[in-house]
Amino acid sequence: MPTFQTYKASTLDTTTGTTLVTCGTGQHFLHSAYVANVYGSAMGITLKVEHADATVTYVAYNYKVFPNETVDLVKDNKIYLLTGDKLIAQADKSDAFTVNVSLLDEANQ
């Protein structure tokens, strides 16, 4: 049965990124990806999907978020993640953002 899951991170790996979720079997609907800049100046954040075949699709690339601002990087987009896909967040400063992702697991059930 499909269920909503939330994945959170308050520190991000600045070199390779932090894996927020690795998808299990099936289709998974990425509902939202809220990022909040908790740093004192504008910072860029990258959100990408690393597919099971190691190719990468960027949801946002070095997207500038101003201080004390929260944005949904997914917004009105309809993004499905498939078996083995990883959702990865990366920023220039490890503690500049908090990230909260909402994912509907097994959306095709």
Measured distance CA(45)–CA(82) in Å, rounded: 23
Contact between 81 and 87 under an 8 Å Cβ cutoff? The reply is yes
Instruction: For residues 14-29, give the mean pLDDT.
Output: 93
Identify the pLDDT of residue 107.
Answer: 66
Q: Of 98, 34, 105, whose CA–CA distance to 72 is shortest?
A: 34
The string of pLDDT tens digits covering residues 66-80 is 999 999 999 988 899
Those residues with Cβ within 8 angstroms of residue 54's Cβ, 6 or more apart along the chain or in another chain: none
pLDDT for 77 equals 86
pLDDT at 106 over 80: no
pLDDT in tens, 44-73: 999 999 999 999 999 999 999 999 999 999
φ, ψ dihedrals at 12, nearest 5°: -125, 140
* Residue 56 identity: V
**Does residue 94 register a pLDDT over 80?**
yes
